[in-house]
């Protein structure tokens, strides 16, 4: 089998005005949908970060992909994830995910890898999870991902979207948002995006969630490195009970040294809440030092920037050997990414936490998967009994996504600029802020 065509579709999807320490989500999130077509007419698909750079990076390797055998991807492109230039020595720059030039190569490889796996799966009639080792679970648990937000459902002009949740800028409103999400999707764990309000208000939000939902619902908080070591320790102590029992404290502060200091001080107080990260450890090269310092007890994997599904499986094995937990990171995405996340999760035995997903923040109107949105029921995505990722593209929807992209005035994610434009003209991202 040979790949005879590669099609790169830049699309825009409505995104509500969600807040984080990065700033404010713009009315549209940018994504790229990739199609790889084989000489026998089968089409493999994948989804990755959007905007100009991801699309150009894919375009730049067209000649290494078209004409090649999708079964031989590792041999052909392995230098992108394992060789020089693969970001092996990189450390995190704290740019928004998808905008870090240091993982551009692994992101590009991942998009091709998933497209090839989908193509192979569709050719041989087997689901992707069964091509990367076989599933250990059929139902993949995801956690609710509540954010503080301004009123609005995303989109602009005559494309303004409805807002299911309204403005959510207080602990009480956050609990309301979470309850709505649980009613709709049945989630049984919560990952709360902090780093937006004063830490005391975010402590209050977690305490309220604990009180309202009960101790059996694990809670996590992720302020995206907005706190100093002292604030992180203070929050860790205040929430020792609420973050225990399957919860965690994610990226409270920036950098492995600071994370290690937070861990040390919490342990000295007898608080064993694990620290999780998707920014202090973003490549295999970060792991030795993280272990040496005991800086991180849970890594959030993400096939989109760790270099694909097989690299995530390697990461999981490494985590198992070193007694590190594994969870999964997400960014605004559609159903193709959700299914890829579900397939890699299905084939990863050492996945010790429910995965993150932004999927509930996106809507049917933007979905490019034929037949509409992927279902999340009882907090889980079920691996369908279908070949490949189990989803096909709806080409009319894809065309609408491309039209939205054409109209969209920006070509990269910039939450800081959006925050200045809509909320506070002097706002700057500060690490740490508190």
* Catalytic residue ranges: 193, 329
Q: How many CA atoms lie within 13 A of 415 on its CB side?
A: 24
Shortest Å distance, C-beta 187 to ligand GKR: 15
Q: Which is nearer to Mg ion, 35 or 222 (CB)?
A: 222
Nearest CA among 389, 388, 299, 308 for reference residue 350: 299
Q: Tell me which of ligand GKR, Mg ion, none is bound by residue 22, counting a contact when its beta carbon lies within the kind-specific cut-off of 5 to 8 angstroms.
A: ligand GKR
Residues in region 55-114 near ligand GKR by CB under 6 A: 96-97
Cβ within 8 Å of residue 301, ≥6 positions away = 312, 315, 316, 326, 327, 328, 329
Total residues at the site for Mg ion (CB under 5 A)?
A: 3
Among 10, 16, 17, 20, binds ligand GKR (CB under 6 A): 20
Instruction: Assess contact for 103 and 90: CB atoms under 8 A.
Output: yes
Nearer to ligand GKR, 116 or 254 (CB): 254
User: What is the crossing angle of helices 229-238 and 199-213, to 10°?
Assistant: 20
Nearer to ligand GKR, 251 or 367 (CB): 251
Smallest Cα–Cα separation from 337: which of 389, 388, 399, 376?
A: 389
What is the distance between the alpha carbons of residues 54 and 36, in angstroms, rounded to a whole number? 16
Residue 143 sits in the site that holds Mg ion (CB under 5 A): no
Question: From the CB of residue 59, how many other CB atoms can be counted at a distance below 10 Å?
Answer: 12
Binders of ligand GKR in range 209-228 (CB under 6 A): 222, 224
Among positions 253, 331, 363, 418, the unique one binding ligand GKR when judged by CB under 6 A: 331
Region binding ligand GKR by CB under 6 A among candidate stretches 18-26, 57-65, 122-130, 341-349: 18-26
330 binds, among ligand GKR, Mg ion, none (CB under 5 to 8 A by kind): ligand GKR
Whole-angstrom Cα distance, residue 8 to residue 427? Answer: 35
Binding to ligand GKR in span 341-370, by CB under 6 A: 356, 358
> Would you report the helix, strand and coil content of the chain in percent, each value rounded to 5?
40, 15, 45
Binding-site size for ligand GKR (CB under 6 A) equals 14
Q: Is 222 in the site for Mg ion (CB under 5 A)?
A: yes
By CB under 6 A, residue 329 contacts ligand GKR: yes
* Separation between Cα atoms, residue 32 and residue 54, nearest integer Å: 7
* 397 is a site residue for ligand GKR (CB under 6 A): no
**Which of 112, 129, 144 lies closest to 348, judged by CA?**
129
Rounded Cα distance, 339 and 329, in Å: 14
E-strand ranges in 39-95 read 43-49
Query: Using CB under 6 A, which of 193, 220, 310, 400 touches ligand GKR?
Result: 193
DSSP symbol at 396: H
Complex with Mg ion: residue 92 or 228, whichever CB lies closer: 92
Stretch that binds ligand GKR, among 15-23, 314-322, 372-380, 396-404 (CB under 6 A): 15-23
Which residues between 254 and 313 bind Mg ion (CB under 5 A)? 278
State the residues that interact with ligand GKR by CB under 6 A.
18, 20, 22, 96-97, 193, 222, 224, 278, 329-331, 356, 358
Chain residues that interact with Mg ion, rule: CB under 5 A:
222, 250, 278
């Amino acid at each position: 089998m040979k790949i005879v065509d590669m099609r790169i579709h830049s699309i825009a999807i409505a995104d509500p005005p969600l807040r984080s320490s990065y700033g404010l989500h713009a009315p549209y999130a940018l994504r790229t949908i990739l199609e790889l077509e084989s000489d026998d007419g089968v089409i493999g698909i994948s989804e990755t970060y959007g905007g100009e750079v991801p699309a150009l990076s894919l375009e730049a390797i067209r000649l290494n992909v078209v004409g090649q055998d999708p079964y031989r991807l590792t041999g052909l492109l392995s230098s992108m994830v394992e060789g020089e230039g693969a970001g092996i020595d990189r450390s995190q720059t704290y740019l928004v995910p998808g905008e870090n030039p240091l993982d551009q190569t692994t992101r590009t490889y991942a998009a091709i890898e998933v497209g090839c796996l989908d193509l192979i799966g569709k050719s041989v009639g087997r689901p992707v999870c069964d091509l990367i080792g076989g599933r250990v679970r059929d139902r993949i648990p995801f956690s609710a991902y509540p954010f503080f937000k301004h009123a609005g459902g995303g989109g602009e002009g005559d494309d303004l979207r409805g807002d299911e949740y309204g403005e959510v800028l207080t602990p009480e409103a956050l609990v309301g948002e979470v309850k709505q999400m649980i009613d709709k999707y049945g989630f049984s764990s919560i990952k709360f995006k902090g780093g937006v309000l004063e830490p005391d208000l975010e402590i209050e939000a977690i305490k309220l969630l604990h009180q309202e939902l009960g101790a059996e619902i694990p809670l996590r908080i992720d302020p995206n490195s907005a706190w100093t070591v002292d604030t992180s320790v203070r929050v860790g102590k205040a929430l020792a009970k609420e973050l225990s029992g399957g919860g965690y404290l994610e990226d409270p502060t920036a950098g492995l040294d600071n994370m290690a200091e937070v861990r040390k001080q919490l342990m000295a107080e007898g608080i064993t809440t694990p620290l999780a990260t998707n920014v202090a450890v973003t490549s295999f090269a970060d792991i030795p030092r993280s272990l040496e310092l005991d800086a991180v007890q849970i890594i959030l994997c993400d096939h989109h920037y760790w270099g694909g599904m097989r690299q995530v499986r390697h990461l999981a094995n490494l985590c198992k050997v070193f007694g590190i937990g594994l969870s999964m990171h997400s960014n605004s995405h559609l159903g193709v990414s959700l299914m890829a996340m579900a397939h890699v999760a299905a084939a990863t035995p050492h996945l010790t936490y429910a995965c993150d997903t932004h999927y509930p923040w996106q809507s049917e109107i933007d979905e490019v998967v034929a037949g509409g949105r992927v279902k999340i029921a009882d907090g889980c995505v079920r691996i369908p009994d279908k070949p490949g990722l189990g989803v096909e593209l709806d080409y009319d929807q894809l065309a609408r996504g491309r039209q939205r992209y054409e109209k969209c005035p920006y070509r990269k994610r910039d939450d800081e600029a959006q925050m200045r434009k809509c909320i506070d003209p002097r706002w700057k991202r500060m690490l740490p802020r508190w």
